[in-house]
Amino acid sequence: MSFDPAHRQAQAARVKALLALDDNAKAELLADEYMSQASNSAAGSLWLALAFQKQAMDEYALACYQQALRLAPNSAKINRQIGYYYLSKGDKEQAKHYLMRSFDLNRNQPEVAGELGRLGVPIKVPQRTE
């Protein structure tokens, strides 16, 4: 059985099902295959990371996030999502690092500015010059 690469949720669910059946070797092989399929696309890697995260498979999610970041290191979206991932895991230092990187890349992110403020990072709003 195979899935369209756009069906990242189904791919992650299939890996989770194999893990639930204690078929760890096959689950690992399949997860590696899916990550390999997404390895040429930052967006595909990000979507697969989100799917693995939704299935509570943190090891695979983090590997996909890192793959996406290697493909597009200057993506505010990817840095933001990794920051939110770490925030959800309670790792405020890592979250702060990635959210600050995201905000540096794109200052037009009020939700990221809000999170940084809650993490104790002072955010300066640029003043308009007339």
Asked if residue 119 lies in contact with residue 96, where contact means CB atoms within 8 angstroms, the answer is yes
pLDDT of res. 123: 82
pLDDT of res. 125: 65
pLDDT of res. 17: 95
Tens-digit pLDDT profile for residues 42-97? 999 999 999 999 999 999 999 999 999 999 999 999 999 999 999 999 999 999 99
Question: In the predicted model, is pLDDT for residue 33 greater than 70?
Answer: yes
Question: In the predicted model, is pLDDT for residue 128 greater than 80?
Answer: no
* DSSP state, residue 107: S
pLDDT of res. 119: 94
Query: pTM here?
Result: 0.86
Q: Which residue has the tokens 């799917």?
A: 51
Report how far apart, in Å, the C-alpha atoms of 14 and of each of 19, 47, 68 are.
9, 15, 21
Question: In the predicted model, is pLDDT for residue 3 greater than 80?
Answer: no
pLDDT of res. 6: 64
State the average pLDDT over residues 106-130.
85
Contact residues for 8 (Cβ-Cβ < 8 A; gap 6+): 34, 38, 44, 47, 48, 50, 51
Radius of gyration of the chain (CA): 17
| C-alpha span between 99 and 121 (Å, rounded) | 10
Question: In the predicted model, is pLDDT for residue 103 greater than 90?
Answer: yes
| C-alpha span between 12 and 65 (Å, rounded) | 14
Q: Which domains does the chain have, with CATH numbers?
A: 1-72 (1.25.40), 74-120 (no CATH)
CA angle 112, 115, 121 (to 5 degrees): 100
| C-alpha span between 112 and 27 (Å, rounded) | 35
Question: In the predicted model, is pLDDT for residue 5 greater than 70?
Answer: no
What three-state secondary structure class fits 86? helix
State the average pLDDT over residues 30-34.
95
